[in-house]
């Protein structure tokens, strides 16, 4: 009989952290249900191979959006990890906590106990930060973070150009001061991807009280308004995994709402239409879907110093060999080694634009966009007002859900993106880039008017792969809330959701760090422990925010 005190669905960023913390004192048994297979092998473990796993059906669920009406009907890929470590095993390994005010906003929206003062101790507990700001960072947690070597002079040029344009510098955007240009942090350790499978799950699975069950979660089994287990399909058989205490859904912002709906928790009319018996009418399940979008602004480099030199088979083989034997060299980085967080205009008190800088002109799918030396910035607004939905396509647990992001449905998004393009051109136009700057590859110097920029945005804006918000956390009396501030599903006993689906609003930057923090903090709620004492540290806010964007 498959039975444990706690049953966790999903071994990803939050699920792995939960497994580690719930089993830590040895008093409770934990089963982790994961549909995907092993994360072993160079395509996942080698940081520079990051474009491969997110495009492989072996490691990725293969989700995509419905045609997006404001993007000319384009269908956008929505990769989610289907492997040990979940999306932390296929992501870009960029480590961003989010801005202090993101979490303060959550608390204001009804996620009491999730303000920055409340979550900072959890970020510290999970981290082992190399070179982070003293007093603001953790140094003994399971999650190793580091900065890249930044050997390519283009990284320094990007940071210097930001300063020349009048923006702030920051020594550690995960410390007291997010705003500014500086080094980017990576979840890489010893030259390997430091996913939650490596950081949390493997150490947890060494304990006697943790086991991994491979199977597809079909639904949470609920009796008398209480979750008692999870129905899974494994080896073509349907089995029940029983939970003596609680079931915790940590299956991603796409799969968690889908699972709740298949289990009878969601908008009643939608469930009935798909022949699902309604157990709790929660209209918020699958609503509030958010994401970050980005554009690649690409510039030719007149010096042959970019990664274009190594995009040939011979160089790739050498890089692969060095990584295989020594875990060093160009294979041991994700190449995202410089970053920036800036504000788009006066009157905005904390950054709402993010930059990833790359000394190459390539796409996420690994294809060279231009057959020449170039560099690029990934840029996008952080707080889009557009909202989408996750809905059931059918009541078949193996059917993919209907994903509608509604990207660019709010007029402000267009103005924000136009500003992002013009601002990037201003930064690339600074003296720091004079020794390197050739012609603009993308969008191209001919694209200037609002209409021309909008056409470029419509055709080229991509997801940054940060979907969240579909099981929103809030006050128990708010009809749009799905979970309360202790991650308990409202209306069902013994059931929680803990992953990026509970975020009331998307945070600044990449979502891996706040997802892990969610697992860390949820574990204390589940175990009935007093939360870690709140921090009294005050984050830096630009004293000029009311009068200038820099």
137 is in an annotated binding site: no
Q: Is 339 annotated as a binding residue?
A: no
- Tell me if 492 is assigned to a ligand binding site: no
Q: Is 17 annotated as a binding residue?
A: yes
Q: 350 among the known binding-site residues? A: no
28-54: b or e for each residue (b if 16 or more CB lie within 10 Å)?
bbbbbbbbbeebeeebbbbbbbbbbbb
120 marked as binding residue: no
Q: Does a cis peptide bond (omega within 30 degrees of 0) precede residue 443?
A: yes
CA atoms within a 13 Å half-sphere pointing along the CA-CB vector of 278: 14
15 is in an annotated binding site: yes
Which residues, in sequence order, are CB contacts of 161 under 8 Å at separation 6+? 427, 428, 430, 431, 432, 433
Residue 247 labeled ligand binder: no
7 is in an annotated binding site: yes
Annotated binding residue at 214?
no
83 annotated as ligand-binding: yes
Q: Is 213 annotated as a binding residue?
A: no
- Is 528 annotated to bind a ligand? Reply is no
Residue 16: name the closest of 199, 187, 192, 207 by CA: 199
CA distance 291 to 380: 11
Q: Is 500 known to sit in a ligand binding site?
A: no
Report the C-alpha gap between 289 and 306 in whole angstroms.
37
Phi and psi at 139, nearest 5°, equal -130, 10
The annotation status of 300 as a binding-site residue, yes or no, is no
Report the distance separating Cα 183 and Cα 36, nearest Å.
33
374-381 and 353-358 beta bridge pairing? antiparallel
Q: How far is CA 165 from the centre of its chain?
A: 29
Checking phi first, is residue 164 left (phi over 0); if not, alpha (psi -120 to 50) or beta? alpha
How many whole angstroms separate alpha carbon 463 and alpha carbon 506?
Answer: 13
Residue 20 marked ligand-binding: yes
Are 5 and 494 contacting, i.e. CB atoms less than 8 angstroms apart?
A: no
Question: Binding residue per annotation — 320?
Answer: no
| Chain-centroid distance, C-alpha 41 | 22
Cα–Cα distance, 360 to 309 (Å, whole number): 9
Tell whether residue 296 is among the known ligand binding residues.
no
264 and 271 in contact (C-beta within 8 Å)? yes
Choosing from 70, 99, 373, 466, the catalytic residue is 466
For 534, the token pair is 């709140």
User: Does residue 23 have a known ligand-binding role?
Assistant: yes
Annotated ligand binding at 9? The verdict is yes
DSSP codes of every residue in 288-322: SBB--EEEEEEEEESSS-SGGGG-SHHHHHHHHHH
| 466 is a catalytic site residue | yes
User: Is 206 flagged in the annotation as binding?
Assistant: no
| 86 has binding-site annotation | no
CB 500 within 8 A of CB 522: no
Ligand-binding site membership of 517 (annotated): no
Q: Are strands 402-404 and 389-391 parallel, antiparallel or unpaired?
A: antiparallel
- The label of the residue with tokens 């269908």 reads 75
* Pairing mode, strands 3-9 and 495-497: unpaired
177 in a labelled binding site: no
Any binding-site annotation on 285?
Answer: no
**Does 76 appear as a known binding residue?**
no
**Contacts (Cβ under 8 Å, ≥6 apart) of 134:** none
Q: Is 427 annotated as a binding residue?
A: no
Q: Is 115 annotated as a binding residue?
A: no
Place of tokens 């287990």: 229
Please give the annotated binding residues for FAD, written as ranges. Answer: 5-34, 83, 91-94
Positions at the binding site: 5-34, 83, 91-94
* Residues acting as catalytic residues: 466
């Amino acid at each position: 009989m498959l039975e444990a005190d706690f049953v966790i669905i999903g071994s990803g960023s939050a699920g792995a952290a939960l497994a580690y913390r719930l089993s830590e004192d040895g008093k409770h048994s934990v089963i982790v249900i994961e549909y995907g297979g092993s994360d072993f092998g160079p395509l996942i473990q080698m940081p520079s191979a990051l474009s491969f796993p997110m495009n492989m059906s072996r490691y990725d669920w293969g989700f995509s959006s419905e045609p997006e009406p404001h993007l000319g009907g384009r269908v956008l890929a929505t990769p989610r990890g289907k492997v040990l470590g979940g999306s932390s095993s296929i992501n870009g390994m960029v480590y961003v906590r989010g801005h202090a005010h993101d979490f303060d906003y959550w608390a204001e929206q009804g996620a009491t106990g999730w303000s920055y003062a409340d979550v900072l101790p959890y970020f510290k507990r999970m981290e082992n930060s190399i070179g982070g700001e003293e007093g603001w960072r953790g140094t003994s947690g399971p999650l190793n973070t580091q900065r890249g070597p930044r050997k390519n002079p283009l990284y320094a040029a990007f940071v210097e150009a930001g300063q020349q344009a009048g923006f702030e510098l920051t020594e550690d955007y995960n410390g007291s001061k997010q705003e500014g240009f500086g080094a980017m942090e990576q979840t890489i350790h010893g030259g390997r991807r430091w996913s939650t499978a490596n950081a949390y799950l493997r150490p947890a699975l060494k304990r006697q009280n943790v086991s991994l069950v491979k199977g597809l979660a079909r639904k949470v089994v609920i009796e008398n308004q209480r979750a008692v287990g999870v129905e899974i399909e494994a080896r073509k058989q349907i089995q029940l995994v029983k939970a003596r205490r609680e079931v915790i859904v940590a299956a991603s912002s796409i799969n968690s709402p889908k699972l709740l709906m298949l289990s009878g928790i969601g908008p009643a009319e939608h469930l009935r239409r798909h022949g699902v018996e309604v157990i709790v009418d929660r209209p918020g399940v699958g609503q509030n879907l958010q994401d970050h979008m980005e554009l690649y602004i690409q510039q030719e480099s007149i010096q042959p110093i970019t990664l274009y030199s190594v995009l040939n088979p011979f160089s790739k083989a050498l890089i692969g060999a060095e990584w295989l034997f020594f875990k060093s060299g160009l294979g041991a980085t994700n190449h995202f080694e410089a970053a920036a967080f800036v504000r788009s205009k006066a009157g905005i008190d904390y950054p709402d634009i993010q930059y990833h800088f790359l000394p190459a002109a390539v796409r996420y799918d690994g294809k060279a966009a231009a057959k020449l030396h170039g560099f690029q910035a990934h840029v996008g607004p952080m707080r889009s007002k557009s909202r989408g939905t996750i809905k059931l396509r059918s009541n078949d647990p193996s059917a993919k859900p209907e994903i509608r992001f509604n990207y660019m449905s709010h007029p402000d998004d267009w103005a924000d993106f136009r500003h992002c393009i013009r601002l990037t051109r201003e930064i690339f136009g600074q003296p720091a880039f004079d020794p390197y700057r050739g012609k603009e590859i993308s969008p191209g110097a001919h694209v200037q008017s609002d209409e021309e920029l909008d056409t470029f945005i419509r055709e080229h804006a991509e997801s940054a792969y940060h979907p969240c918000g579909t099981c929103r956390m809030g006050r128990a009396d708010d009809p749009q809330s799905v979970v309360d501030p202790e991650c308990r599903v409202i209306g069902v006993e013994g059931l929680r959701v803990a992953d990026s689906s509970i975020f009331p609003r998307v945070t600044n930057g990449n979502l891996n760090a706040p997802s892990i923090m969610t697992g860390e903090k949820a574990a204390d709620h589940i175990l009935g422990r007093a939360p870690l004492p709140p921090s009294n540290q005050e984050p830096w806010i630009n004293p000029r925010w009311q009068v200038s964007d820099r």
